[in-house]
A and B are shown apart, each in its own frame.
Chain A
Amino acid sequence: MKYVLESVESQFEMFQILNEDGKIVNKDDMPDLSDEDLKELMRRMVYTRILDQRSIALNRQGRLGFYAPTAGQEASQLGSQFALEQDDFILPGYRDVPQLIWQGLPLYQAFLFSRGHYHGNQMPENVRALSPQIIIGAQYVQAAGVALGMKKRGKKTVAITYTGDGGTSQGDFYEGINFAGAYQAPAIFIVQNNRFAISVPVEKQTNAKTLAQKAVAAGIEGIQVDGMDILAVYAVTKDARNRAVNGEGPTLIETMTYRYGPHTMAGDDPTRYRTDDQDSEWEKKDPLVRFRKFLEGKKLWSEEEENKVIEEAKDDIKKAIKETDAYPKQKVTDLMENMFEELPSNLQEQMEEYKEKESK
């Protein structure tokens, strides 16, 4: 009898380009990015970090609702999104609002989503995406469908979807990667392994050593990547995209990352399940710190430039919050309008009732 688990598992090594000190450790795989692109990646990470800080503050003031912090995961989120084209389709999880924003979702709509206003879920015409999925795993199977549709139409685009380490335990996760594999559909499955699913550490989630190896059973490519290294995340996503549109099938990408903040702003207390040591060990790997070092070494980034981005972000956020406040309040009758193409009789009757209620 020959068992292969150990030898298969040991082959999954973390792919890295930029190490913690901001040094290139893997020249061969360095992606082809212009200086402008490199600066843009930094700009986006700084901007998104500020957006996270402000969103947390706004939530505490009661000016935002549901919010899942993103600090720590910028390289995973923005590096993968940067590899996309405008016609690609994104199926995000609840923490993946930044990818939507950089794909073109206006900030005030992201804020409306947080407040629980349906306009926050209405994507602008140029953004092919669903609003963040709440049911963990559901987006994975749907991504297989979007990708198969693209393949049938002969499009040169991909469907990309995101979940977390916890999400890989759902049946939908396995169904999604298996379906996409069976149809060789152009899908990219990202798992942001931030080590915890709320309080549950990834070690309790599965006996598998890596999450990337789950690709093997589905017969698709899987790769583990340093999720704090934006160049590495960009490079593997770009490669997955190229292979997908060339008809070479889907890829599962596990990004090794960490969320610095609480799970969401609704009462999660990370001190119940994480240690300070663990937190500071991961902060040493910070995606902004190492990329800043790298760019400074190339004379592409300075404190002034960084401050400019910070001010720009703060300004945008201020404006967006005003816009959010000014947006018409959501009514129950609005929700009724969005139930069916044509109102069925029960809703017609209730529409009258609620119009009267709302006019009071």
Chain B
Amino acid sequence: MAQMTMIQAITDAMRTELKNDENVLVFGEDVGQNGGVFRATEGLQDEFGEDRVFDTPLAESGIGGLSIGLALEGYRPVPEIQFFGFVYEVMDSISGQMSRMRYRSGGSHTNPITIRSPFGGGVHTPELHADSLEGLIAQQPGIKVVIPSTPYDAKGLLIQSIRDNDPVLFLEHMKLYRSFRGEVPEEEYTLELGKADIKREGKDVTLIAYGAMVHASLKAAEELEKDGIEAEVIDLRTVSPIDIDTIIESVEKTNRVVVVQEAQRQAGVAANIVAEIQERAILHLEAPVLRVTAPDTVYAFSEAEEVWLPNHKDIVEKVNTVINF
């Protein structure tokens, strides 16, 4: 098996599907010759030609509309939004149009589009680049939201996302692109969308996270182990729809839960999970379900980013609260 960074695994997944299906098209700002500003599409234009992998003019709404149109012509677009902070420019295409295409056409048109985009914080980008805006799209019926936390998951989930016959938003945490390597099979494989993964087993408390916060949770779990607390870490991998079964099974075992998200506290994915848990498993709970989140400000200016972002210490603190409740 090869050792890959997450970004290499993502490139590999696109290469696999470009090979498998001539209808797959990869495009966006700077994705062609430049290989993307993060180099996620590095080498793909050379390998598959400008017909299949190409630069677009600079307009996110244009990229969204183009994707919808190409899908109507039978293509399987894999557009890139250069940074997810720019999503507001393409919001109508995503939420107003492609997510409703199957529904409003009574199933006569579909939009098998996979929008890829770097998101999340911690890498000192200028304003409006870093952010955790998955909650905005998770609230939109008609589109799946997938967020990998490891190179292995990234490849399997991206291939499956591209093959999915409905729109998928595939969010790639910027900080995870190159921060570590993991084993990734060279051959193709898929991972089911909407299925969480238990990244660490434990019996005392359940940590539910996704993206970079999976790693913060794993780090917290290591610290907690020193105090004899065994934390289970669930990586959601898809934040819409949510894998309720895996969550509830774990809650019934540990009876204590902390939900972790990098996004701000107000509304959001974590709030939804807490609601689902209390509706389905309140009698299994020994303590209130707590959240670790960023505060309710606009994403921090980079100088204050480190303090603003939630980290493993915040998680340990909240776990101690639910354990000692």
Q: Which A residues are closer than 8 A to B by beta carbons?
A: 65-66, 94, 115-118, 134-137, 166-167, 169-171, 197-200, 204-206, 266-268, 272-273, 329-332, 334-336, 338-339, 346-347, 350, 353-354, 357-358
**List of 4 A-B pairs having minimum Cβ-Cβ separation, nearest first:** A116-B302, A199-B34, A169-B57, A166-B58
Judge whether B304 and A335 touch: CB under 8 Å. Answer: yes
Judge whether B33 and A334 touch: CB under 8 Å. Answer: no
Judge whether B303 and A329 touch: CB under 8 Å. Answer: yes
B299 CB, nearest partner CB in chain A, Å = 9
B309 CB, nearest partner CB in chain A, Å = 10
CA of A273 to CA of B266, assembled, Å: 43
Judge whether A272 and B126 touch: CB under 8 Å. Answer: no
A341 CB, nearest partner CB in chain B, Å = 15
CA of A13 to CA of B45, assembled, Å: 35
Q: Which chain B residues border A136 with CB–CB below 8 Å?
A: 58
Asked if B166 is an interface residue, CB under 8 A from chain A, the answer is no
A243 CB, nearest partner CB in chain B, Å = 29
Known contacts A65-B124, A166-B58, A330-B304; is-contact A199 B30 (Cβ 8 Å): yes
Q: Which chain A residues border B58 with CB–CB below 8 Å?
A: 136, 166-167, 169-170, 197, 200, 205
Asked if B219 is an interface residue, CB under 8 A from chain A, the answer is no
Judge whether A118 and B86 touch: CB under 8 Å. Answer: no
25 residue pairs bridging A and B, Cβ less than 8 Å apart = A65-B124, A65-B302, A66-B124, A66-B302, A115-B302, A117-B303, A134-B129, A135-B128, A169-B59, A170-B58, A170-B61, A170-B89, A171-B89, A198-B34, A199-B33, A199-B34, A200-B30, A272-B34, A272-B35, A330-B304, A331-B304, A332-B300, A336-B297, A346-B265, A350-B296
Known contacts A346-B265, A346-B266; is-contact A332 B303 (Cβ 8 Å): no
Known contacts A200-B29, A354-B295; is-contact A335 B301 (Cβ 8 Å): yes
Q: Which chain B residues border A116 with CB–CB below 8 Å?
A: 124, 126-127, 301-305
Asked if B283 is an interface residue, CB under 8 A from chain A, the answer is no
CA of A167 to CA of B89, assembled, Å: 13
CA of A91 to CA of B290, assembled, Å: 43
Given A117-B303, A332-B304, 15 extra CB contacts under 8 A: A65-B124, A65-B126, A66-B124, A66-B302, A116-B127, A116-B303, A117-B301, A136-B58, A137-B89, A167-B58, A169-B62, A171-B62, A199-B33, A347-B295, A350-B265
Asked if B1 is an interface residue, CB under 8 A from chain A, the answer is no
CA of A206 to CA of B59, assembled, Å: 12
Judge whether A347 and B296 touch: CB under 8 Å. Answer: yes
